[in-house]
């Protein structure tokens, strides 16, 4: 079977935005709440407080986003909801009025598209919320409600708020705030398909699917793909699956998943024994125990062989998200860990995704702390920002970093060297995760070119014509990219 994935994703650098925390509009706008009791922007976030970020604020920051080199945005949910993260959907057809509603989203979409920035929305289709009007009808009318079969009601009366009583209906992960849809009901299935179609017609460029593995109804995601792709064949469908995702990446369902199988080993190699265990143990990816270069190479080769190449190029690769602690905090505030991992991220096949604020060194422990307000410019880490800018620019400049073959050339101790090759274009990346300088030889026979130009980093590279090898001397806790100059 011929697998088709959207070409633009292979060339995309994503930016993940949590809308309540990225930016508040500075322009006068018709806001729902003028004197809202927002949490202070700089204060530590709480589970239930709002900071008042909105879509107009994001529009005002599009120049910054574009200047960083970003050409795709993934938004965590934006539909009307009674939670700051908006995974508790009230109405799938209405953008939250606090964010500016549908008109602000239309304005944002147009402004992003004018800059050739794609927009992917979060689709929360496994569960709704107590405030979702079909479920609310059940709360008002009990067994007489016409929507009873839309959910998994076990008994009466349902108890949506009082924990002293059984909920009597299925909630996601046992949470009564998130009633689970009955996807076996054809009406529910059709309702969700129509939402997916509505927003693709509205102009969005794809869907990120929340916990899609929870939906077990046969054929559900196959139909979802067919209907979305019938409207826009280049729409991106990416699932939130943390582990081996082969059953969803067969070409009939998703184009990719959030690639935590890349994040785990990459952090374990780049941060090593600096990883703060409290920040990672409760999550389904494993940035521990520390990995040496040989072990890292083995895990990366396994990952690259797990899925068809066409799918590998449209994975959503990440180091952090709203569901994890931030990398800087995981690595015990060690900046070198962030820079090494970012180098590995931006030179890997698949679309890199940067969690808002990571590029300026925003720290954050597990939720809710990993969802802080985007920092004021005075608090930015300029060094981390410079790393991101340079690496994103190189990724855009060299097609081999996006769609070229990935070949491991050397992996010993804590020195890892690989090449990205596309036709006659070849770049070599070396990463030294150790605390001492490292030296490694690469056999010239494995190279197509004679790389002689340092494009990134501070290593020393020497050609030995007699011995026919290239010697890399890489300073501790740094990495480099070498090529034959600009294409």
Contact predicate 346/402, CB 8 Å: no
CA distance 286 to 307: 20
Q: Is 240 a catalytic residue?
A: yes
Contact predicate 31/61, CB 8 Å: no
Q: Locate all alpha helices (DSSP H) within 254-315, ordered by sequence.
A: 260-270, 293-306, 309-312
**Taking the mean position of all CA atoms in its chain, how far away is CA 51?**
22
Of 210, 255, 358, 414, the catalytic one is 210
**Taking the mean position of all CA atoms in its chain, how far away is CA 246?**
19
Using the 8-state DSSP alphabet, how is residue 215 labeled? Answer: -
CA distance 390 to 361: 15
How many angstroms separate the Cα of 482 from the Cα of each of 399, 401, 450? 15, 12, 10
Of 96, 205, 240, 339, the catalytic one is 240
Joined together, the tokens standing for residue 21 give 């925390």
Specify the residue for token string 């990495």. 479
Q: Is 149 a catalytic residue?
A: no
Residues 6+ apart with CB under 8 A from 89: 77, 79, 80, 81, 124, 128, 129, 132
Residues 6+ apart with CB under 8 A from 475: 432, 437, 458, 459
Which residue numbers are catalytic? 210, 240
């Amino acid at each position: 079977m011929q697998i088709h994935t959207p070409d633009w994703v292979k060339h995309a650098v994503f930016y993940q935005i949590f809308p309540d925390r990225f930016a508040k509009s500075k322009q006068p706008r018709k806001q729902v709440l003028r004197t809202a009791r927002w949490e202070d922007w700089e204060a530590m976030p709480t589970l239930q407080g709002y900071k008042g970020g909105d879509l107009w604020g994001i529009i005002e920051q599009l120049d910054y986003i574009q200047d960083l080199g970003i050409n795709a945005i993934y938004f965590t949910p934006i539909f009307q909801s009674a939670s700051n993260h908006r995974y508790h959907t009230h109405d799938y057809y209405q953008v939250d009025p606090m964010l500016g509603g549908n008109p602000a989203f239309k304005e944002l979409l147009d402004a992003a598209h004018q800059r050739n920035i794609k927009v992917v929305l979060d689709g929360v289709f496994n569960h709704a919320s107590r405030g979702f009007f079909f479920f609310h009808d059940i709360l008002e009318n009990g067994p007489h409600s016409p929507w009873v079969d839309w959910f998994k009601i076990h008994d009466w009366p349902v108890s949506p708020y009082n924990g002293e009583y059984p909920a009597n209906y299925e909630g996601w992960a046992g949470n009564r705030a998130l009633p689970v849809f009955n996807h076996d009901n054809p009406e529910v299935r059709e309702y969700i398909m129509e939402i997916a179609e509505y927003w693709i017609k509205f102009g969005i460029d794809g869907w990120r699917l929340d916990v899609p593995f929870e939906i077990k109804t046969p054929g559900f995601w196959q139909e979802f793909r067919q209907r979305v792709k019938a409207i826009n064949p280049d729409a991106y469908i990416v699932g939130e699956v943390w582990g081996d995702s082969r059953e969803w990446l067969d070409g009939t369902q998703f184009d990719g998943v959030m690639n935590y199988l890349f994040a785990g080993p990459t952090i374990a190699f780049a941060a090593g024994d600096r990883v703060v265990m409290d920040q990672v143990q409760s999550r389904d990816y494993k940035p521990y125990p520390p990995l040496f270069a040989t072990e890292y190479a083995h895990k990366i080769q396994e990952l690259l062989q797990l899925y068809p190449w066409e799918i590998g190029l449209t994975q959503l690769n990440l180091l952090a998200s709203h569901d994890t602690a931030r990398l800087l905090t995981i690595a015990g505030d060690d900046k070198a860990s962030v820079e090494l991992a970012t180098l590995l991220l931006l030179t890997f096949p698949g679309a890199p995704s940067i969690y808002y604020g990571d590029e300026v060194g925003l720290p954050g422990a597990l939720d809710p702390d990993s969802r802080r307000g985007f920092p004021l410019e005075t608090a930015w880490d300029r060094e981390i920002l410079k790393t991101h800018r340079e690496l994103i620019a190189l990724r855009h400049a060299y097609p081999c970093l996006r769609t070229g073959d990935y070949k491991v050339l050397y992996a010993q101790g804590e020195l890892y060297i690989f090449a990205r090759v596309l036709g006659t274009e070849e770049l070599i990346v070396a990463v030294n995760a150790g605390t001492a300088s490292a030296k490694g030889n690469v056999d010239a026979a494995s190279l197509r070119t004679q790389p002689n130009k340092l494009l990134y980093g501070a290593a020393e590279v020497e050609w030995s014509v007699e011995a026919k090898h290239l010697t890399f001397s890489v300073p501790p806790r740094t990495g480099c990219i070498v090529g034959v100059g600009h294409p």
